[in-house]
Structure 1
Amino acid sequence: MLSSWRRSNLLSRILKEQLQAAGTAFQLLTRIPVPVAIPFTPEVLARSVVYYPVVGAVIGGVVALAGMLLQDAVPAMPAAVILLAVWIALSGGLHADGLMDTADGVMSHRSREKMLDIMKDSRVGAMGVLTAVLLLLFKFSSLTAVMNVSELQWRSFFPLMMMACAWSRLWIVLAMAAFPFARPNEGMASLFRAVHFRHPASALLVTILLAAGSFLVWPSAGYQSAFVTLLMQGGITVAAGWILCIWLIRKLGGLTGDTYGAVAEIIESILLFYLMLVLV
């Protein structure tokens, strides 16, 4: 009896921890309401990163679903604007804000310390605005092209769009564990010092399960190279993420919360462009 009670208590505690972790991930990375007060302790934050790919898949899935609903009802260009608005609304522009702050800092060509100070400034400079505009135009043009594909191809786009957003969030977790922090004792990134390699390993497993599940629920509809495309997404994520992070570390001496968002935005845009090339 006692042993059974202990097992039940342990399972309840584990379930509570995982639900807290998932809720934390959605509270941090989206504007999707999670009406629960969760303590943002280093341990909870570390566990939450396992669910970052799930957050990405939800965002990508909602955007893809909105695209399917708009495809025959709205012309391609206005539909692409609506999809971008949905995309930004879901994330609250969190990663776009990080992109702008990072661009202002690293493109100022100042000293490393001055770059980091500029990135902490809540005001947005010219380089941040220009970078954000260019990235949004890049996404807009890719979405416009995708909106012109057939309904059959959209059934292939749905799971691949989900996974594109999942891969970009997975890289944030990998970067936390693999690369140094620029400000180890301050800023949002410093709260994730408890992230170790078991967390990105778990996040990678979650991503693989999401990929398998997405193609079971939404078959590729005759798109025979869907699995290869998925592998290419992973390869592009690793290649682009590694190059960007190494470049940023050379500039800043490490990564920050802003740079995580910037890299995620760029990876997401590259993956969207790749899907456009595959489908069009």
Structure 2
Amino acid sequence: MNQGMQAVAAAFQFLSRFPVKAQLDYTPELFRKSTRYYPLVGAAIGAVVWCGAVAASYLLPPLPAAVLILALWVALTGGLHLDGWMDTADGLLSYRSRERMLEIMKDSRVGAMGVLACVLILLLKTSLIYSLLTGGWPPLVLLLPPVWSRWFMVHAMASWPMARGKEGLAGKNFNDMEKRHSLAAVPGAVILTGVAAAMFPLLGIGDFTLLQAGLAWLLLPIAAWAVGTWAAQRMTRKLGGLTGDTYGALNEGLETVMLLVLVIIQYR
């Protein structure tokens, strides 16, 4: 297997539960190279969620369909990013010192704030998916949030320091990330977005208007960058940098923000 395919396999093995059978030597260099394919992993997750949404919305009423769609979405990642969301909530919402926050986030046990944050984000995501289904929008719109949330993870790795230096999985493997790694992930995200946009006329756009479709395709990447930057800066001020948990939290939060943007466009 050549280096490019190894990087693709590493991205899928690390970020998803797709059955990618490959024996890889996980070096820091391979981890860094694999980040350019994170949007591709997001697209694969989004594509499966899209197909699941088509089937669920055809067979079931909107509310149970929305719950099953979200369950599929979480299962495809093995709950990896949701775990980071809970750990980050436990740490940041403890309002302790920086050192104590990092210590809390490192604890494998989930606290009250983590449970509350998990319940609330799952409820919000379910309600947003339900709103999109009942609003007549095609399930294809679910393809893009996983793409751009994972691009921002790469951007965050390259743009903000590691809170623990070279400690932990993220510190060992992503500590030397540079802007070029973030830029290398942009073309893939843009191309995947263009492919999804080109599919709309072929599959039908439901109750979408062309203006709404254009706004969605334009605003989702902007929202991911703007909200992600704000959140990463806030986390960095509190923690002195980012951690593997905060990357997962950023992914979960940005997916939710982009679903919220879609619902706002839908109902305006």
**What interval of TM-score do these two structures reach, taking the shorter chain for normalisation?**
over 0.9
Does 1:170 find its partner at 2:151? yes
CA contact (8 A) 1:170 1:203 kept: yes
- Does the residue aligned with 1:71 lie in a helix, a strand or coil? helix
- Give the AA of the match of 2:191: L
How far, CA to CA, are the matches of 2:198 and 2:218 in structure 1? 16
SS of the residue aligned with 1:38?
coil
Letter in 2 for 1:250: R
**Is residue 227 of structure 1 aligned with residue 214 of structure 2?**
yes
- Please give the alpha-carbon distance, in whole angstroms, between the structure 2 residues aligned to 1:58 and 1:194: 27
Other-structure match for 2:226: 239
Report if aligned partners of 1:24, 1:48 keep a CA contact under 8 Å in 2: yes
Report which of the two structures shows the higher radius of gyration computed on alpha carbons: 1
Q: CA deviation at 1:172?
A: 0.3
Indicate whether 1:104 and 2:85 are aligned. Answer: no
Q: Which letter does structure 1 place at the counterpart of 2:265?
A: V
1:174 partner amino acid: H
1: CA distance, partners of 2:176 / 2:20:
24
CA contact (8 A) 2:166 2:175 kept: no
Could you list the runs of 5+ residues in structure 1 that have no partner in the other structure?
1-14
- The offset of 1:187, in angstroms, is 1.1
TM-score (normalised: structure 2): 0.93
Q: 1:202 aligns with which of 155, 165, 184?
A: 184
Q: Counterpart in 1 of 2:100?
A: 114
Aligned 1:1-280 pairs, distance under 5 A: 16-150=2-136, 153-154=137-138, 157-158=139-140, 160-190=141-171, 191-219=173-201, 221=205, 223-225=209-211, 226-280=213-267
Tell me how many residue pairs correspond in the alignment. Answer: 261
Deviation at 1:148, TM superposition (A): 1.4
Q: In 1, are the aligned partners of 2:215 and 2:265 still within 8 Å (CA)?
A: no
Give distance in 2, aligned partners of 1:34 and 1:73: 30
* Cα contact 1:56–1:166 (8 A) shared by 2: yes
Q: Deviations over 1:229-252 (max 9, x none)?
A: 211001111111011001101110
Distance in 2 separating the partners of 1:232 and 1:263: 18
Query: What amino acid is the match of 2:10?
Result: T
| Contact 1:43/1:194 (8 A) holds in 2 | no
Unaligned runs of 5+ in 2: none
Matched residue SS, 1:218: helix
* Cα separation, 1, equivalents of 2:121 and 2:170: 24
**Residue 223 of structure 1 aligns to which amino acid in structure 2?**
T
Structure 1 position 223, deviation (Å) = 3.2
User: 110-119 or 15-24, which moves further after superposition?
Assistant: 15-24
More displaced stretch, 194-203 vs 108-117: 194-203
Query: Bigger shift: 27-36 or 57-66?
Result: 57-66
Instruction: Supply the RMSD in Å over aligned alpha carbons.
Output: 1.4
Task: Provide the rounded CA distance (Å) in 2 between the counterparts of 1:210 and 1:112.
Answer: 38
TM-score normalised by L of structure 1? 0.89
* Percent identical: 43
User: 1:104 and 1:114 mapped to 2: Cα distance?
Assistant: 11
Supply the distance in 2 between the matched residues of 1:215 and 1:238 (Cα, whole angstroms). 20
For residues 91-118 of structure 1, the C-alpha deviation after alignment (integer angstroms, 9 at most, x for no partner) is 1000000000001111111111111011
